[in-house]
């Protein structure tokens, strides 16, 4: 197994790039949640905003990732450091599944339950934090799960603009026409994606217990 030997021989670099990869994915997903969850809540409560916001997120999703990196490159503060740029791009891609699932989760809360809560004298924010968000949580998390898996894959392309991550190996391998090097990036990336999927999935299931 040439690939395995290559990975073992270069394990420090593999680990370093894996770590970089995780960092890009982690930061961008957290940012996407910070923006996407409130937006999802907003459009669930203001149905008029739902179409434009979801359409916007959809449009972002359709931009090819390499092109998006290219578009963002000349932007002043962003272009200075490629990891900023990569994080922004990854975040933009993670938005759609998070916004959509938050929207679905919140609007799926039984209207009778909300009315009972309102009638009991819960304020809108108590209703949101005690009732709507807990009930929507597992749906929101399944959106996060999709977002993370997408981000792990997309982050390999971030290496094209020098943002690091496991894509470095993939691009280097492509240039060297050496499958071992490509796989040294691709295999850990695939494992990361699987691990992320399984762990967020586990969290989702645990929280759905009720």
The footprint of another protein (CB under 8 A) covers 110, 112-113, 115-123, 126, 130-131, 134-135, 210
Nearest C-alpha neighbor of 13 from the set 183, 125, 169: 169
Q: Which is nearer to another protein, 78 or 128 (CB)?
A: 128
Closest separation between CB of residue 200 and another protein, Å? 20
> How far apart are the C-alpha atoms of 138 and 140, rounded to whole Å?
5
Closest separation between CB of residue 103 and another protein, Å? 19
> How far apart are the C-alpha atoms of 189 and 210, rounded to whole Å?
34
CB-based contact 98:40 (threshold 8 Å): yes
> How far apart are the C-alpha atoms of 151 and 143, rounded to whole Å?
12
Q: Which is nearer to another protein, 31 or 122 (CB)?
A: 122
CB-based contact 33:49 (threshold 8 Å): no
Q: Which is nearer to another protein, 45 or 172 (CB)?
A: 45
Closest separation between CB of residue 190 and another protein, Å? 35
Closest separation between CB of residue 33 and another protein, Å? 21
Q: Which is nearer to another protein, 177 or 209 (CB)?
A: 209
């Amino acid at each position: 197994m040439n690939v395995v030997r290559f990975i073992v021989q270069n394990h420090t670099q593999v680990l370093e790039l894996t770590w970089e990869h995780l960092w890009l994915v982690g930061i961008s997903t957290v940012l996407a949640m910070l923006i996407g969850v409130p937006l999802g809540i907003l459009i669930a409560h203001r149905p008029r905003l739902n179409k434009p916001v979801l359409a916007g997120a959809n449009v972002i999703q359709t931009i090819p990732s390499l092109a998006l990196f290219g578009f963002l490159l000349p932007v002043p503060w962003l272009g200075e450091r490629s990891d900023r740029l990569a994080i922004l791009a990854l975040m933009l891609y993670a938005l759609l599944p998070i916004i959509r699932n938050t929207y679905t989760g919140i609007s799926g809360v039984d209207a009778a339950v909300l009315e009972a809560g309102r009638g009991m004298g819960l304020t809108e924010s108590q209703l949101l934090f005690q009732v709507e968000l807990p009930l929507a949580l597992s749906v929101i998390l399944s959106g996060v799960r999709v977002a993370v898996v997408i981000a792990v894959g997309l982050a390999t392309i971030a290496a094209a603009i020098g943002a690091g991550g496991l894509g470095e190996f993939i691009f280097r391998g492509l240039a060297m026409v050496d499958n071992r090097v490509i796989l040294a990036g691709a295999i850990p990336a695939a494992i990361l994606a699987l691990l992320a999927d399984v762990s967020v999935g586990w969290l989702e299931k645990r929280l759905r217990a009720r």
